[in-house]
Amino acid sequence: MSKYIPLSSNNEWGIETLVAQLRELRVQSLESRRRRDKPPKLPSRKILNGILDGLGAVLFPNRLGVPNLNNEGIDYFVGHTLDALLRELYKQVRQELKFISGQEDFNDEAHEQAIAITREFAARLPAVRVLLDHDIQAAYEGDPAARSPDEVLVCYPGINAIMHHRLAHILYQLGAPLVARIIAEIAHSSTGIDIHPGAQIGESFFIDHGTGVVIGETAVIGKRVRLYQAVTLGAKRFPKDEAGRLVKGNARHPIVEDDVVIYAGATILGRVTIGRGSTIGGNVWLTYSIPPGSNITQASVRSELFDGGAGI
């Protein structure tokens, strides 16, 4: 039997050397990003998660709010909750602006910018409620398993994801893309649905089941569009500039026009257009535009690819 030898100190692992090496790497990394020894903190995912839960309760107080709300108490609950949530949201937007600037101090101009973003976000909440009502109704009408719109609201991951997206998209437009991206990732973690906050999505949008759906930053989706699980609206390629860096912000994701249905596992890549009223079958891989009213299946795609020997 081997004899147990007690460890005398952290020196057994070379801890002091490791700490020094990690410190040096950390400092180099911060300097390369032009940050100070104490870089500004990021917005808090935990706090934003609470804000999103609260906004759901504000938008749907009878279903997502506190129990036993009566008609007289709803307005007080909405007003009191919204005031607290917007104060916290302002702090998170302010934190993003500080992080972007790289400065711990916060000047009056940045303060006013954070206030303006939060105020405009609040002003758009009624419009979000209208959009969500259309989304919920589309899910209820589009799924024979749905027994009521209320069931859709409290149970369907697609509605959870689109609620987060509609709120995140506003912040993305208003100049708080990091806060928006964190909100999108909160939804992604809980639903398996990954929608970039930059994506433009029309009313009556329905994601059935939803796990594995990916919608890229520059995707444009029209009205009354329905997606099933594992659908990808992605980029075909990532162009680089002369220095070999990826070009940011170019339109690289699909345009899906009104009344399109895309079935499970379909992958649509690049800045292509899916014409109005088209149906894309399951597991189709599509990298070209199609006219309105098209019906694309695996067999039709394969037929075109191999027509005249092409693709062999």
Residues 229-286: pLDDT tens digits? 999 999 998 888 888 888 888 999 999 999 999 999 999 999 999 999 999 999 999 9
The pLDDT, as a whole number, for residue 33 is: 57
pLDDT at 312 over 50: no
pLDDT at 227 over 80: yes
With beta carbons less than 8 A apart as the criterion, state whether 213 and 246 touch.
Answer: no
Q: How confident is the model at residue 311 (pLDDT cuts 50, 70, 90)?
A: very low
Give CA torsion, residues 188, 192, 197, 199, to 10 deg.
180
Q: Per mean pLDDT, which range of 43-52, 105-114, 286-295 is the poorest?
A: 105-114
With beta carbons less than 8 A apart as the criterion, state whether 275 and 294 touch.
Answer: yes
The pLDDT, as a whole number, for residue 310 is: 44
Q: Which of 202, 83, 72 is nearest to 131 (CA)?
A: 202
Q: Give, to the nearest 10 degrees, the angle between helix 157-174 and helix 177-191.
A: 170
Enumerate the CATH 1.10.3130.10 domain ranges in the chain, comma separated: 41-192
Classify the C-alpha dihedral 231-139-198-48 as positive or negative. Answer: negative
Q: Which of 142, 227, 230, 234 is nearest to 192 (CA)?
A: 230
The pLDDT, as a whole number, for residue 301 is: 63
Residue 186 CB-half CA count within 13 A: 24
pLDDT at 102 over 80: no
In angstroms, the CA 29 to CA 40 distance is: 14
Most confident of the following: 69-83, 159-173, 243-257: 159-173
More confident residue, 113 or 305: 113
With beta carbons less than 8 A apart as the criterion, state whether 48 and 183 touch.
Answer: yes
Amino acid at 149: P
Q: How confident is the model at residue 197 (pLDDT cuts 50, 70, 90)?
A: very high
Give mean pLDDT, residues 128-156.
96
The pLDDT, as a whole number, for residue 30 is: 66
Residue 189 sits at φ, ψ, to 5 deg, of -65, -35
Enumerate the CATH 2.160.10.10 domain ranges in the chain, comma separated: 212-312
- The pTM score is 0.84
Q: Which residues contact 76 (CB under 8 A, 6 or more apart)?
A: none
pLDDT at 37 over 60: no
CATH architecture of 212-312: 3 Solenoid (2.160)
Q: Is 14 left (phi over 0), alpha (psi -120 to 50) or beta?
A: left
More confident residue, 17 or 288: 288
Amino acid at 218: T
More confident residue, 12 or 198: 198
Record: fold of 41-192: serine acetyltransferase, domain 1 (1.10.3130)
The pLDDT, as a whole number, for residue 240 is: 83
Q: How confident is the model at residue 16 (pLDDT cuts 50, 70, 90)?
A: confident
Exposed (0-12), middle (13-18) or buried (19+): which is 227, by Cβ within 10 Å? Answer: buried
Summarize pLDDT for 180-192 with one digit per residue, the tens.
999 999 999 999 9
Cross-strand partners of 214: 194, 232
pLDDT over 90 percentage in the chain: 68
